[in-house]
């Protein structure tokens, strides 16, 4: 991330971060969680830029049956399952005391249901829908389990796990296409949120695994080849601070799932 990367990651006193080294200490790690502070009676780290902060709460939708089964869903409009609705209710309680000024969601059922559950406690906030935030289009992989994908496209799953930026989903998208549409929409919404807004200013955004991950790569200045660096569990909360006076954004916390039980992410968080 270079020297500027130092400014993009927050570490509160007593904050807990979790790194997964699945391929050995010499290989890149997955950031399962960054800067958890719930155990300090502070559910979210304090705003880095005090009253001059645009704070975004980035949420991944609750669980679906396809998440639980490990089935690729992509842009298939799969609703939350019973556990996903419970996760949505729990994250809604977790965010109950936050004063939101705007709310944005992918239009697919699973994030929309999650967002509406959260906004039950914020009746004055209107949910806006952004088509560019929909999940990656898996094309011919959608509806399939991993063994079925491997049988039809030998070796492509391993490429997706190791070099995701080089994979073109058959009759679907690649990560560059996802990044282009997501980042363009994100930057346009940032301009709106930063214009004529109260301070501090809080925004709720509910989207998907892949869209959240490409956004996080963009926010910290990394290329999409680092897609697997960030974990996004079902019902997780990620906190991003933007200084309203200009300057680099800061990841305050990533993949908070303590409201779902424990420090470690135990959500399905399987297929996209």
Query: Using CA atoms, how far apart are residues 114 and 46, in angstroms rounded to an integer?
Result: 25
Query: Is 201 labeled as catalytic in the residue annotation?
Result: no
CA 227/CA 216 separation, integer angstroms:
9
Six-digit token string for 208: 């998907």
Kindly name the residue from 61, 102, 122, 201 that is annotated as catalytic.
61
**Residue 61 annotated as catalytic:** yes
* DSSP collapsed to 3 states, 7-47: HHECCCCCCEEEEECCCCCCCCCEEEEEEECHHHCCCCCCC
The one catalytic residue among 102, 122, 208, 259: 208
Q: Give dist(CA 196, CA 101) in Å, integer.
A: 12
What is the spatial distance between Cα 255 and Cα 226, in angstroms, rounded to a whole number? 16
CA atoms within 13 A on the CB side of 200: 19
Q: Are 35 and 45 in contact (CB under 8 A)?
A: yes
The half-sphere exposure of 31 on its side-chain side, counting CA atoms within 13 A, is: 20
* 183 Cβ contact list (under 8 Å, min separation 6): 214, 215, 218
List residues bridging with 238 in a β-sheet: 58
Pairing of strands 201-207, 53-60: parallel
Backbone angles phi, psi at 129, to 5 degrees: -110, 135
Active-site annotation, residues: 61, 208
């Amino acid at each position: 991330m270079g020297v500027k990367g130092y400014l993009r990651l927050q570490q509160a006193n007593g904050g807990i971060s979790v790194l997964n080294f699945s391929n050995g200490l010499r290989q890149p790690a997955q950031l399962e969680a960054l800067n958890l502070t719930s155990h300090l009676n502070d559910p979210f780290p304090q705003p880095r830029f005090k009253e001059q902060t645009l704070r975004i709460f980035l949420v991944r939708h609750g669980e679906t049956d396809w998440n639980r089964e490990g089935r690729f869903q992509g842009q298939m409009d799969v609703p939350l399952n019973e556990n996903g609705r419970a996760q949505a209710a729990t994250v809604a309680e977790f965010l109950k005391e936050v004063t939101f000024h705007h709310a944005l969601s992918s239009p697919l059922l699973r994030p929309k249901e999650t967002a509406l559950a959260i906004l039950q406690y914020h009746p004055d906030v209107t949910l806006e829908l952004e088509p560019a935030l929909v999940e990656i289009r898996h094309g011919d992989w959608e509806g399939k389990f991993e063994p079925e994908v491997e049988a039809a496209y030998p070796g492509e799953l391993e490429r997706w796990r190791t070099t995701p930026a080089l994979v073109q989903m058959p009759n679907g998208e690649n990560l560059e296409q996802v990044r282009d549409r997501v980042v363009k929409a994100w930057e346009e919404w940032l301009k709106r949120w930063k214009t004529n807004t109260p301070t501090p200013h809080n925004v709720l955004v509910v989207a998907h695994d892949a869209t959240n991950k490409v956004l996080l790569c963009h926010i910290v200045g990394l290329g999409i080849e680092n897609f697997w660096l960030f974990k996004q569990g079902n019902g997780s909360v990620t906190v991003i601070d933007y200084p309203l006076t200009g300057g680099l954004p800061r990841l305050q916390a990533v993949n908070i799932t303590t409201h779902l039980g424990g420090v470690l992410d135990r959500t399905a968080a399987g297929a996209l």
